[in-house]
Every structure is written in structure tokens, then in C-alpha cells.
Amino acid sequence: MTLLVIGISHRGAPVSLLERAALAPEERPALLHAAVGTRGLGPAAEAAVLSTCNRIELYAAVEQDARDGADALTALLARHSGVPAAELAPYLYLHHEDDAVRHLFDVACGLDSMVVGEGQILGQIKAALALAQDEHTAGRLLNDLFQQALRVGKRAHSETAIDRAGQSLVTVGLDQLAPAAGTEWPRGRRALVIGAGSMSSLAATTLARAGVSELVIANRTLDRAERLAGALGAGEGTRARAVPINAISMAAELALADIVVSCTGATGLVLTAGAVAGALRERARRAAARPCPAVEGHTDPAPELAVLDLAMPRDVDADVHRLTGVRLVDIESLAAASADAPMAADVDAVGRIVAEEVAAFRAARHAAYITPTVVALRAMAADVVAAELARLHGRLPGLDDKERTEITRTVRRVVDKLLHSPTVRVKELAGEPGGAYYAAALRQLFDLAGADAGDGTATPGTPVTLGAGRLPETVPAPTPYAHHTHHAHPEQERS
């Protein structure tokens, strides 16, 4: 079997395409059954689908010649996503064997998430495995892969501080917006957080802990904003409220805010230069008409409006930085500053864990493949020993029980010693490139019928060779830290 993963994610595909291609929960079983086919006649022997707002991935175990299987699975993904294959193709990636294993482990650890280190993806991987199990499309290979991915993700979070990556991005951004070093900024300020996703929630929590006096959560879905505001407003010292995202509310809140943090995942601009300029004019008008606070207990806005854009693509018009009275920090300007040593060390540590676990999975898979051969060889040897001992006892009926026992033990010791080194060595060699051929040689030399592995443990895959016009064999893997500095998007994986 060859292990494959075919999919699209936030790393390469635009949000609009991900939204169109998203698989509703009720659509996922149909894709799984199409992949394995009726009576196992589909392009895959096993299949599992991982679908979130930020990725759609089809994991499959296919036969040795994986080229046609990969093409067929690509066509199925296009058909069930409702997006034409020609439109998906530029954004699709294909990984096979170790690269597929490494990819899922990276995903499980949060290295491939929009917010590096986020843990919600573990629940989504668990749900993907449960669905494949319920639909009977996950065999031994995918069961083992997904179970180990869950363990790897938990290990990464328990042995490193990878969770700090997203926190560091918010903290660095707010630090860059501080008007002067050593101040208690943003204590006592009014903050507007646009969006209620994971990164926006993280920013809102950070601001509340920093002691902002008022926190306004603006979101397209008001009830979600209200839940977040309710949770944050329960603490002392910070008033929290929710508003819907619309032109009227945004204009009013921008005029009152000292700090704006935006991270919505929208495909277009949320704050245009014109909207911000209008808010600045209103702020100036309020300052000239003192004292007239808009809300009881409020003072006038600070002289400058601090804007932190954590979205990719950007929420805030880049021209905003040209406006007098605004400080703007966005993802691009944070890329270098957020690469602090502690976070880089955590990402590197998780990368080492992933590398170890990929090697362990490969070794276990090869061992599972070689085991039937070793068992068959030892069973054949035991049959030969039994037959020859029976023959000896027939020829020497005068042997007493003690002599028979000693002869039996001696013959078995000789056979065990003869088999020990070859069987241990073939298990060791199985984990090396081409190791499967040693098992095949044993089966051939000793005529071990029925010793082929099955249930997803058959020969670990031959590299996929794709023809002209097909998907690239694999996507070049970035360095572990590049997941954060170049590809991380501030919205968390969420279903």
C-alpha cells in the first residue's frame, strides 16, 4: 500500500476557494465511500477526510501503482467539493509515504495551522478518525496513522511551549504599538477587537489582562461576539460589550477606540482608509468639543489610534499608515519582530519531535510488514523440526523419555540459533530504503506461501510517479519556523 494525502489549505488557497470547497458534515461520508468504492472497488483501500474551515484533506491508502489512484482521488475531491478540478488544481498538494505522515503530524502539532501551536485541530483529527471508523473506511494503516498523530500532537503540547506562538504574535504586535517603552500601555485604554475567532479571542483576552478599561467585540455573528464579551466582562476592571459589524457601528466605535485589533478572515478589506480617516475626523471633533464623552465614564480618545492587523489577507487598508494620527502594525511588519528566540526554539523542538515520530511510524510499519514473513519462516522451521523428530523417534523406538526430550531440545536450539540472526537482521533492514525486498527475498528463498502482509501493512509504498500535467509529487517542505514567519495566518483552525 502507498499512503497519500491530497488537499488544499490556507497556506496556498485563497479563503474564498476554501469556503466554496468546504465539505459539510453530511457530505463527508459520501466522499469516503466514493474513495473506497462498493465492495472495495474504489481507487483507495482506506480513506479518511479532514475538513475544517482552513483545510480539506483526503488521506488514503492505495495500491502499489499509486499514480492512477492519486488522479482518481483528486477527481473525487473536486466532485464532492463542488469546485471544478481545473480550479482546484493550482492549489492542490500531494504528499505520499513519509511526507504524508510528516504532514499529518505537523498538522496535529499545530505547525501547519493559521495560529501556530493551536490545539483545536487535535479534536478535528479525532473526529475525522471517528467518522472513518464509523463508515468502515479506515483500516489498519489509517487507524495507526491517525492514532499516532493524536499522540504526537499531545506530546508536542506537553513537552514544549508551542502554544505560546500565537500569544507571542499578539504580544509583539501590541508592544510595537506602544507609544513609549516602559509605559503601562494599554492599561486604561479603550479597545475595539474586530472578529471573534481564535486569534481575535486571544487578542481580546490579552488586552483584558493588560487592563484596558473597555473592550468592544465586533463580529458578523453577534451572538458569538456576545459570548466572548460575556466571558471577558466577568473579570474586574474591564467593561466588555458586543456590536455587529456594519458601517454605522464601525464608524462609531472607531471614533471612540484607542486600540483596534482586527482578524476576521474576510476576503476583502474590513477597514478602508476612508473609514479610518472619517473616524479620525470624528475624534478631532470630539476633542474640540470637550467635555462630551460618548459613554458615561469615558474620556476622550487618545491622540493617536493604534491599529493591529493580524489578518492574512489583510483586514486594514495598507494606505491607513499614511494617515496622520494612526500607528498601524500588520502581519508583514510582525514577521521579523515575532521571530523571538523562545518561540523559535519551541517550533524547532516540535520539529524534532515530529521527525522522531515519523521515523518511529516508518519503523513500526516496516516491522508490521516483515512480521508475517518472520512468523511464517519460524512456523515452517517448527514444522520441519516436528516432522524430523517424529521420523527419528520412529527409527529409534528404544529411546527413553529423557533421551527424547534432550534430542528435541537440542534440535530446536540449533534451529533457533540458525534463524535468530537472519530474522533479527531482516527486521532491522526493513526500516531502511528497499528493506521490503529482504522480506520478499526470504519468502522467495524459503517458499513461504501466505506470508504477505495485509490489512494496510503490505509493502510500504513505492514513490508516486505522476505523469505530465498531473499534480507535483510533493510540495517542498518549508523549514519548521517558516510555518510561522511566512505561512502562519492568524485565524485558528476551526470547524
- Catalytic center residues: 53
Q: How far is CA 105 from CA 100, 133, 146, 148, in A?
A: 9, 19, 9, 8
Q: How far is CA 115 from CA 16, 90, 193, 485, 489, in A?
A: 19, 24, 17, 11, 6
Question: Going edge to edge, which strands form the sheet with 2-9?
Answer: 46-52, 55-62, 2-9, 93-96
Q: How far is CA 109 from CA 152, 347, 478, 481, in A?
A: 7, 10, 15, 13
First to last CA, the chain: 30
162 and 152 Cβ atoms separated by less than 8 Å: no
Query: Which element (helix H / strand E) includes 287?
Result: helix 273-288
Return the amino acid letter for 228.
Answer: L
User: How far is the C-alpha of 82 from the C-alpha of 77, rounded, in Å?
Assistant: 8
User: How far is the C-alpha of 237 from the C-alpha of 119, rounded, in Å?
Assistant: 29
Per DSSP, 326 falls in state E
Query: What b-and-e string marks burial along 25-54, b requiring 16 or more CB atoms within 10 Å of the CB?
Result: eeebeebbebbbeeeeebbbbbbbbbbbbb
